[in-house]
Amino acid sequence: MTVGNGPMSMVVQGAALVSLIWSCTVFVVQAIGISQLFRHHSGPLPKPVSPSLEPDEVPHITVIRPVKGVEVGLYECLASTFRLAYPKSKLTIYLCVASTDDPAYPVLQQLVADFPGFDAKVLVEEDDPLLHGTGGHVNNLGPNPKIRNISRAYREAKGDIVWIVDCNVWVGTNSAGRMVDKLCGFLPDGSRTTPYKFVHQLPLVVDIDPLPTAEERQRLLPTTHNASPPTDRTPRGILSHFGGRLEEMFMSTTHAKFYSAINTVGVAPCIIGKSNMFRKSHLDLFTDPARNPLLSPRDAARGRGLDFFSSYICEDHLIGDLIWRSRLPPQSSDDDGGAPAPRFRNHGLVFGEPALQPMAGMSAAGYVARRVRWLRVRKWTVLAATLVEPGVEPLVCCAHLAFALTTLPWFRGGDRGWGAGVGVPPTWRAMALVWALAVTAWMLVDRWVSGELRRLRSVDVDEHTPAFARGAGRPGGIPQRPFGEWLAAWVGREVLALPIWTWAVLLGTTVTWRGRRFRVRMDMSVVEVGGGTRESSAPGSKVTSRPNSRNKDRID
């Protein structure tokens, strides 16, 4: 591997310098993310401020939960909304489902019955007056099934704050208060800081072993809160849901580190539509071409608020991106001559309050399909980040580092520069050794990070907290992963990362979206392929048939 002094040597050393800069940048970004995770997720959080304000000062929240089919832990995830430590009079809860034929519909009815006294309602898409009945039409919204599901809930929201939480997400009892504190700028000492336009939570996946019987897996109604989930640690039991292990690994290592780091630096929007809170007045303003110069006149046909995104896939990123880029009009001073109202920051991650998604029974093939869909729907929204994604994974990033250390003369030892005490020989064997050591160090750090996140020490626990949300080490909580089992998932996740990226980004543009196949275009609009009714991809496009309410093929 010895490099000479000719022109080719300069090219190789230039490439090695780029590799060194890239790998060091990735390490710095990871360090930022890790420091934030340990700072905010390693212990209990202070109590939120907003729930204890005077009644007329507590902001009203409309919680919108789109539901599609029966998910694992569905009852407990949705019930967590009713168990929020937030004034009941300041909560409106809308549980949204496409049809009364959806298998989740009886669960939603039971939830409303089990928690009387709440301003809660089950909203069925088939009853939406915008889409059905006198004056309505099924084509009034585009094909995005999630937007069609929650459009009515958004239009009928009470108060200004809207909190959209996926049905397969469990939220902690104090999460509403902490989200509102961040959004509105409430501080513990009674003062106010700069509010945000948009706040969200760190998504984490907890893979639990399959429930004992098929009946329990389908019913998924509340079980004993303090009991740990059943454990099947036989090779067959682990392999049957190895995809869940891979998903849990990805969300608690690579994704958690970079998600936290990017949201700390705040150079670009980085969100996932698991749990997002914003103001309805802001989104209505930002989706109005007459009041937002970022939009063109042709966007006027796309509706307002959430309806603006109904013809597009990846609505979570598009909503966050539009809120990020849009500016609010100047605010005047108070009548008494006071200072202007505070400006708004863009996005704020509510550290320490994860959005927990329980998962069970996902195969490795299911994980691969899920990641392919994920990458394809986000490819055109964050193209640059998607293209460099393989370089942030350990196997590739550590190869960059090993190439740089064994190529640049600074690290050869002697009196030749920075590496006088390093002495890395320019050989293939040395490169392999450096790569192996770097990957091992990366793996050990991931073991540490994922172990800390799995403990969920920042999550508030009470008698209603399900086992998957109690964390490892707490009574009735989930166990910590044995190292051998954890290592198998880590290696599997990292080995699959590059093939999945190649297949998703370079070799296809179609996704299976709730039972129908769509091609994703560069503007993030979608067109149906493979038979059936085609969907227009133009802004303001119409849909000619309802999504299949019984299909459980999700992209989130």
| Catalytic residue (one of 181, 316, 321, 556) | 316
Q: How far apart are CA 142 and CA 310, in angstroms?
A: 5
Helix, strand, coil percentages, rounded to 5, for the chain? 45, 10, 45
Q: Are strands 345-349 and 196-200 parallel, antiparallel or unpaired?
A: parallel
SS3 506: helix
Q: What are phi and psi of 106, to 5 degrees?
A: -60, -35
Residue 141 structure tokens: 């919204």
CA distance 140 to 306: 13
Q: What is the DSSP string of 1-17?
A: ----SSHHHHHHHHHHH
- Work out the angle at residue 269's Cα, subtended by the Cα atoms of residues 268 and 270, and round it to the nearest 5 degrees: 115
> What does the alpha-carbon distance between residue 24 and residue 219 come to, in Å, rounded to a whole number?
49
The pair of three-digit structure tokens given for residue 170, joined into one six-digit string: 């469990």
Q: Which has the closest alpha carbon to 286: 331, 312, 321, 330?
A: 321
Task: Name the helix (H) or strand (E) containing 165.
Answer: strand 161-165
DSSP 64-131: EEE--S--TTHHHHHHHHHT-SS-GGGEEEEEEES-TTSTTHHHHHHHHHHSTTSEEEEEEGGG-TTT
**Helix or strand (DSSP H, E) at 182:** helix 175-184
Helices 364-378, 483-501: crossing angle, 10 deg rounding: 40
- DSSP character at residue 24: H
How many C-alpha atoms does 59 have within 13 Å on its Cβ side? 24
Q: What is the number of other CB atoms lying within 10 angstroms of the CB of residue 118?
A: 15
3-state secondary structure of 349: strand
For residue 523, indicate whether it is catalytic: no
Query: Catalytic residue numbers?
Result: 316
